[in-house]
Amino acid sequence: MKPEADDLTHLKMWAMALAVDASPTVRRRAMYRYLGTLYSLAIKANPSLKPLYGEPGMLMAKAIAEMQETLVQASNREVPQLFSDVFKATGKGRPPTARAELLCWASASAVITILMKEHGKTEKEAAQLVEKHLRKKGICVPGTHHGNEPAWKRLQSWRDKCLAGKKGKIAKGYYSDALVYRTFPPQDLIDFLLDPPFVAYEPMN
């Protein structure tokens, strides 16, 4: 079976799942898959839309990715950013960490690892380089500031917790996904993984 035919079969399958009176969880999952498969089919039908090869492809990828992120945020009991001006969070206690935020810091942690293992940077040098890049983008490192503790130290601390599994499976999955890009040159690696916006997705690993 040709890849296009296989994708079309999957598209029909997800469409049928959406037509069934199933639970909202099942329908959200089906919609997520439907959008991804629809994008795959569109790319194969029109190669000029391939992501990372021109503005049209980037725009199309971003539109579908943001719709998928909205579904993921809703499943994660977050107020989807797309609807933040319509719905207000009503839950008590500390809300779950937004997946886009987890993606940002997990990717930053992975870049530190790659800079150390592939490009001979010390952990301090790598953390400082990543923190400086994020600061230029207007992104502040998470964590509580203690005395004269520099921001790159807080970034190191977040990475240590991520590697230890203390930031959860989603963060660890994003970290593992980012390691796939270890062959990128240092600056390309930083520009590719650490430039906002951070559009969350379901981790592959």
pLDDT (0 to 100) of residue 26:
75
Query: What does the pLDDT average to over 153-170?
Result: 94
- Biggest alpha carbon distance in the chain? 62
Q: Higher-confidence residue: 54 or 139?
A: 139
Domain C-terminal end among 25, 59, 83: 83
- pLDDT at residue 31 greater than cutoff 60: yes
Expressed as residue numbers, the domain containing 77 is 3-83
Least reliable range by pLDDT among 49-53, 152-156, 199-203: 49-53
Whether the pLDDT of residue 91 is over 70: the answer is: no
CA distance 8 to 182: 33
Of 53 and 152, the structure prediction assigns the larger pLDDT to 152
Task: Confirm whether 173 is domain-assigned.
Answer: yes
Query: Is 205 inside a domain boundary?
Result: no
Residue 133 has pLDDT above 70, yes or no: yes
Residue 46 falls inside a structural domain: yes
Say if residue 72 is in the same domain as residue 119. Answer: no
Query: Does a structural domain hold residue 91?
Result: no
Of 59, 83, 107, the residue at which a domain comes to its end is 83
Same domain, 75 and 140: no
In a domain, 202, yes or no: no
> Residue 94 has what pLDDT?
44
Query: Which of 11-20, 45-54, 75-84 comes out lowest in average pLDDT?
Result: 45-54
Average confidence (pLDDT) over 84-100: 58
Residues 164 and 189 in one domain: yes
Contacts of 21 (CB under 8 A, 6+ apart): none
Same domain, 70 and 143: no
Q: State the total domains in the chain.
A: 2
108 lies in the same domain as 60? no
Q: How confident is the model at residue 93 (pLDDT cuts 50, 70, 90)?
A: very low
- Based on the domain organization, do 57 and 126 belong to the same domain? no
Q: Is residue 64 part of a domain?
A: yes
Q: What percent of the chain has pLDDT over 70?
A: 81
Of 20, 50, 83, the one marking the end of a domain is 83
112 lies in some domain? yes
Range ranked top by mean pLDDT from 74-78, 84-88, 187-191: 187-191
What local confidence, expressed as pLDDT, does residue 144 receive? 62
Cβ(76)–Cβ(99) below 8 Å: yes
Residue 87's pLDDT is what?
A: 59
Q: What is the pLDDT of residue 155?
A: 94
Residue 92 lies in a domain: no
- Rounded mean pLDDT of the chain? 81
Distances (CA, A) of 185 to 111, 115, 160: 11, 9, 24
pLDDT of residue 108: 96
> Are 14 and 61 within one domain?
yes
